[in-house]
A and B are shown apart, each in its own frame.
Chain A
Amino acid sequence: MGKTLFDKVWDAHVVDTVDGGREVLYIDKHLIHEVTSPQAFQGLRDRGIKVARPERTVATADHNVPTENQHLPIREELSRIQVQKLVDNCEEFGVTLYGLGHPYQGIVHVIGPELGITQPGMTMVCGDSHTSTHGAFGTIAFGIGTSQVEQVLATQCLLLTRPKRMRIRVEGELSKGVLAKDVILYIISQLTAAGGTGYFIEYAGSVIRSLSMEGRMTVCNMSIEMGARGGMIAPDETTFEYVKGREFAPQGEDYDKAVAYWKTLYTDEDAVFDKEYVYHAEDIEPMLTYGTNPGMGIPVSGEIPQTGGQQGDASFRKALSYMGLDAGSKLEGHPVNHVFIGSCTNSRIEDLRLVAKFVNGKKVASNVSAMVVPGSQQVRKQAVQEGLDKVLRDAGFDFREAGCSACLGMNEDKVPAGQYCVSTSNRNFEGRQGPGARTILASPLMAAATAIEGKIVDVREYI
């Protein structure tokens, strides 16, 4: 019987199998950031051991960093201490750090791919659930807890149970104004926030194939929002082209050899999945969330449902009351005061280009404060080279320095309590963008159109 893409990559990394079916899995690349690593380094110190393979771990600071005046010390004391702790730990344990001020600094899931650290066929982990992003390259990539960060630092391995396999095919051709973000929000709205639990997903089908690497990363990024361990896409010419020539990618002859191997990474015809779903592009519109988990999504032309459905009614009511929205009402036309374009879901150069193109010559509505936060210093540099910063600023957007920013209420960028924010990030949990903040997830185009109109609109009517 044939193998799935997932099993091909997983099998190539199994060091040993333990009683009860757990496997010792070798990890090729380990990314760390300031939030989930300090206790792991402390664990090594307590045990008196070193980092086993320091060359396989790369660090950056992203969650706590301010997105203005990054050359100045971080104002908030605890954030400053945490970022400093990362600097100290990396120095003590010999780990490469692209910290604040470094030209490669940025959101961990943006810098891995853009530096060529992320490559097809690898196993990659990070103490961060959106590590699934890297699956876009045909990589087994997933988020881990801090105890596991410690395990990888100590042994370059993890002890894991193999997840089940799911394939989600999206077939057809997306209509104008419908982006990768809409595809994944649609899938999650169909499968719910728990629909992928226990599974590793492979995304396939003509819609997925037609996406750029940026689009594929957006899709894989949100796999975790349906509870899946991760999501991946078989590498193809789009992938090889993207990886080629990047700083840490194999070069010359090594690259050719690597590509020959990468070409073997696909799901065999007769491979079997534990679960399969097929969706059709023509059913997918620009999407919006109305509730407090990413599964609570509706098409822009749709209405908020009357009942919780699979969600459970009590949670549904609680979510609507937090959001200040009514069952049965439409989101289109709803006024919004904040727009956030950024996060590891949508802060890559392609997202910025798309937004800049849309807002060029337009003005952000007077009731809206809108910001664009590039995912990395490199994205920012590229945007400036292309003049996108000017277009965005002229339109009234605040164009910031790289970081997680208002994706999570951990740094200075927050949405005030009770206010609505249309956000290109990945989580609309209660308080995610700051205590009491009300998040509506959407694509970068929908966010840009909302910023200009001052209320939620259907972007398809503006392009």
Chain B
Amino acid sequence: MEKIEIIDSSCIPLPIEDVDTDQIIPARFLKATTKENFGDNLFRDWRYNSDDSPKEDFVLNNPTYSGVVLVAGKNFGCGSSREHAAWALEDFGIKVVVSSFFADIFKGNALNNGILPITVSDAFLDKLFRAIEKDPKARVHVSLPDQTIKILDTSDSETFDIDPYKKMCLLNGYDDIDYLLSKKDQINEFEETRTY
């Protein structure tokens, strides 16, 4: 897993609410047996017509917008637990997703794949969307150590929450399995004491 510390980037705006993981990566692309190349099908049905030609008005096809920060409407990542959604975002190059609300499983999956989900207030999200509308190249500065996100054009900033353990993992590029494997003896002991 790649480490995350400071991110300074322009943004990709997706002002849609309740974006479910079926949209992020449709079920028919879940047939792969490796984690590679899911980015090609990220938002497949919003991004391409059925003849595979790009849909001009979808944000990922608009060269005006670029960067590693996706800014999305509330309740991002709801629906299916497919981790492929996180793999698709990661493979596409997204490092941070900003929204005012995340679905639980997606949030966990993102963190397990080196993507930082940042929950901001509705007001901040609104400001961020407006800043990008005004200037498609508007940049944000994210500091994981300080837990802050700042819109560089307007100097609006906000702090965000993150579980201290997950923060440590992201800063160091560790994952949960490394940790759990270190608990082996305790797990064995626990099993012995159980009646059910």
Contact = CB atoms under 8 A, between A and B. Distances in A.
A20 B27 contact: no
A131 to B, nearest CB: 8
A24 interface: yes
Contacts of A429: 20, 22-23, 79
Contacts of A1: none
B163 interface: yes
Sort chain A's interface into a size bin.
35 or more
Nearest to A407: B27
Contacts of A318: 16
A147 B109 contact: yes
Interface string B27-48: 1101111110000000001000
Interface string A152-174: 00111111010100000000000
B88 to A, nearest CB: 13
A409 interface: yes
Interface string B148-184: 0000000000000001110000000001110111011
B28 A410 contact: yes
Contacts of A193: 18, 75, 78
A314 B82 contact: no
A19 B31 contact: no
A321 interface: no
A315 B24 CA distance: 16
B176 A147 contact: yes
Chief secondary structure at chain B's binding surface: loop
A26 interface: yes
B26 interface: yes
Contacts of B179: 18, 159
Interface string B133-156: 000000000000000000000000
Nearest to B50: A435
A78 B82 contact: no
A36 interface: yes
A127 B81 contact: yes
Contact of A155 (B30, B86, B184): B184
A30 interface: no
A24 B187 contact: yes
B176 A26 contact: no
Contact of B112 (A129, A145, A409): A145
A154 B180 contact: yes
A155 B187 contact: yes
B196 A12 contact: yes
A391 B45 CA distance: 39
Contacts of A147: 83, 109, 112-113, 175-177
Contacts of A42: 33-34
B183 A145 contact: no
Given A15-B186, A143-B105, A155-B181, A26 B191 contact: yes
Interface of A: 12, 15-16, 18-22, 24, 26, 35-36, 38-39, 42-43, 47, 49, 63-64, 78-79, 81-82, 85, 121-122, 127-129, 143-148, 150-151, 154-159, 161, 163, 193-194, 197-198, 224, 227, 229, 258, 261, 293, 311-312, 314-315, 318, 408-410, 417, 427, 429-432, 435
